[in-house]
Structure 1
C-alpha cells in the first residue's frame, strides 16, 4: 500500500524529483525576474482595468462580443493576481511551502489559463453565430452572455482545483513530475494535450470564419454603396480576434509543450532550464492583449484615453472620435446593424435590375 505525504513540505517533493534548479531562483536572477514581473503585473492591472471600464462606459461596446472581450480582460487581470502570488512564493521560498499553499499557487495559474482559453472559445462561438446570420454582432441576450461568463469561470475554477481534488502524486511519489513535484505526470499529459487540442480547434475555426468573411466581403463589396470603413467592419473585428488568439497561442504553446515533455518523463529534454523564461512569456500574453485592443480598435483607444485623462468635455470627444474609423457599428451610423444582410438585399436588387 502506497504511503501518502500530505503533511510534508515542498522540499521533500523537490528532493524526491531531483529538482535542483529551484535554487537558481535566487540572487541576481531572482531580482531581475521580480523587477520585470512587478512592472508587467502593474501594467496588467492598469491596462485591463481600462479595457473593462471602456466597455462599461462606452455604449458602442454594449454588444456580446465586447462583453466577452471585457471578460477576457478580467481573466488577464486574474492572471496578474496569480503572478503576484507566484512572485512571493517562488525561489528559495518554494521549498518552504506547504502542500496546500503550493496547490494554491499552481491552481491560480491553471485557473487563469483555463479562463482565457474558455473565453476565447466562447468568442469563437459568438463570432460563428454572427457570421452565419450575416450580422456584425450576434443576437445573444445579456442573460445568455452573463450565463456564459459564469460558466467560463466555473469551468476555470474547477480545472484549477482538479489536482487538489485528488489527481496528484501525494500517495504515489514515483508518478510525480519534475516541473510540478506534486502533480502526477498523467495529469500533466491530460492537461497539456487537452489545451493544445483546443488551441488547434480554435485556430481552425477562426481561419474558416476569417476566410468566409473575407470571401463574402469581396463578393458583396461591388454591390454596396456604404463607406469603406463600414464595409470592412466584419473583417476588422475578425482581425482583432485572430490577433488576440495568435498572441495567446504563441505565448502559451512553448510552456505547454515543456509540461507535456515533463509529463512524458523526458529526462534529456532540459525542461528545467527553460521553464522560467516560458513562464515570463506566458505573463507577456496578459500584457499584450490590452495593447492589441487599443491598437486594432480606434474607438477602444479613444475611450481608454478619455478615461485616463478624465476629460469633462465628453461630447466634444465623442464628435471627434466619430470621425475616426472604428470596429464598432453604432446605432446612429448604422440604423440596421446588419451590414452583410443589407448588402445581400442590395446586391439582389441590383442584379435583377441589370438582368
Structure 2
C-alpha cells in the first residue's frame, strides 16, 4: 500500500471515530461545561426561534424580489443573493444548535466538520456577496454605460463565483486542514479546527471587508459629484433624480455592511484571541456561543434594513404580506394615513418600471441630447 493511500485510509478511519471528538473537547477544557451533559438550554431554544424568524423574513424578501418585475435587475439579484445566504445561514445555525450540546459528543468528526463548515460557508457567502455588490456598483459607476445585456453575465458570474469560493473555504478543514492528531495546534472555540485555518479565514474576511470599504468610498465620491453637478442644471432633473436613487440604494447597502461588521466583529475578535491563547487559559473562549448569537442577529436585521430604508422594497413586501387589506380592486394601494404606503400601478409607473434598468450615470463628458430626452420623458 502506497503512503498516500495509507494516509487517506487513516484519515477516513479518524473521521468516523467518535473518540476524536471526546479527545479534542477534553483537551480544550470544554467537557467541563454543563452544556455537553444536558439537552437544549433555554437560550438555545430562544436562538432556534430566532433562526426560524430569520428564515421567514428572508424568504419574504426573496419572494418579493422574485414576484416584482421592478426588482429583476442585476443590483437586486445580487441583493437577493445576499438574502439567500442569510436565509441559508438561519437554517445552518438552526442545524448547528440542534446538533450541539450533548449531541456534540455523539457525532463523528465528519459530521462535526459539516456542522461547523456550514456556518463558515454561509459567513463567507455573506461577505463575498457584499463584495460582489460593491464590484458591480463600482464597475457600473466607473464605466458610465447604460444598462446592457453583458451586465447580466457579469452579475451571474459574480453570484456563481461567490458560492464557489464560499464552499471551497468551508470545506478546507474536512479536506485535511484541521488539527486532528495535533492537539497543541487546536482551536478552543472549534476544537477540531487548526488555529492556522481560523487565522486564515479571519485574514480573508478582513481583506474582503477592507476592499468593500475602499470601493464604496470611491462610489460615493462619483455619485455625490454627479448629483451635485446635475442638481444645478434644470434640463438634467430627470438624471438628477436617477442619481438620487443610486445614492439611496448605496446608503442601504452601506448600512447593511455596517451592521454586518458590528454583528460579526465581536466574534472575529474572540477568534483572534483564540489563536493567541493556549488551551484552558482564556475562560472567555468557552462562552463563544454568545458571540455567535450576536453574529446570528445580522441575518435577522438585514431584511428589516431593506424594508426600512428602501421605499420600493417596503411597498413590495407590504403588498406581498397584506395584498387584500392594502390593495383596492383597481390595483391601487389604499390610503390609510401612511404616506409610504401610497403607491400606484398606473401606466406611468409601469413605464417607469420597465425602464428602471436604464442605468445611466452621467458626467459632463458622456451626456447626449438623446439621453436627456429619454430620461426626462421617463421621470
Shorter-normalised TM range: 0.7 to 0.9
Correspondence 1:10 to 2:26: no
Q: Say if 1:114 and 1:156, in contact at 8 Å, map to a contact too.
A: yes
CA contact (8 A) 1:252 1:281 kept: yes
* CA drift at 1:134: 3.3
1:284 Cα offset (Å): 0.2
2:152 aligned with 1:145, yes or no?
no
- Asked if residue 85 in structure 1 is aligned to residue 98 in structure 2, the reply is no
Aligned match for 2:332, one of 281, 302, 316: 316
1:258 match: 270
CA-based RMSD of the aligned residues comes to: 3.3
Q: Is contact 1:169-1:176 (8 Å) kept? A: yes
Q: Report the number of matched residues.
A: 343
Partners of 1:136 and 1:233 within 8 A in 2: no
More divergent stretch after superposition (281-290 vs 147-156): 147-156
What's the CA shift for 1:292? Answer: 0.7
- The reply to whether residue 120 of structure 1 matches residue 130 of structure 2 is yes
* Structure 2 Cα separation of the partners of residues 158 and 234 of structure 1: 33
Alignment match, 1:94: 104
Q: Distance in 1 between matches of 2:112 and 2:61?
A: 31
Provide the residue aligned with 1:330 in structure 2.
Answer: 352
Which structure 2 segments of 5+ residues have no match? 1-6, 335-340, 373-379
CA contact 1:331–1:337 (8 Å) conserved in 2: no
Counterparts of 1:123 and 1:221, CA distance in 2: 27
Equivalent pair of 2:230/2:240 in contact (CA under 8 Å): no
**2:226 aligned to which of 212, 216, 239:** 216
Structure-to-structure mapping, 1:148-227, within 5 angstroms: 148-223=158-233, 224-226=236-238
1:288 and 2:330 matched: no
How big is each residue's C-alpha offset from its partner over 1:264-291, in whole Å with a ceiling of 9 and x where there is no partner? 2356554325412210111100001101
Residue aligning to 1:240: 252
| Cα offset, 1:153, TM superposition | 1.4
Q: Tell me the CA shift for residue 236 of structure 1.
A: 0.4
Superposition deviation, residue 146 in structure 1: 2.5
- Which residue is 1:279 aligned to? 292
Given that 1:213 and 1:235 are in contact with CA atoms closer than 8 Å, whether structure 2 keeps it comes out as yes
Q: 1 CA distance for matches of 2:147 and 2:314?
A: 20
Structure 1: which 5+ residue stretches go unaligned?
351-355
Would the alpha carbon gap of residues 204 and 29 (structure 1) be closer, same or farther in structure 2, given more than 3 Å must change? farther
TM-score under structure 2 length normalisation: 0.80
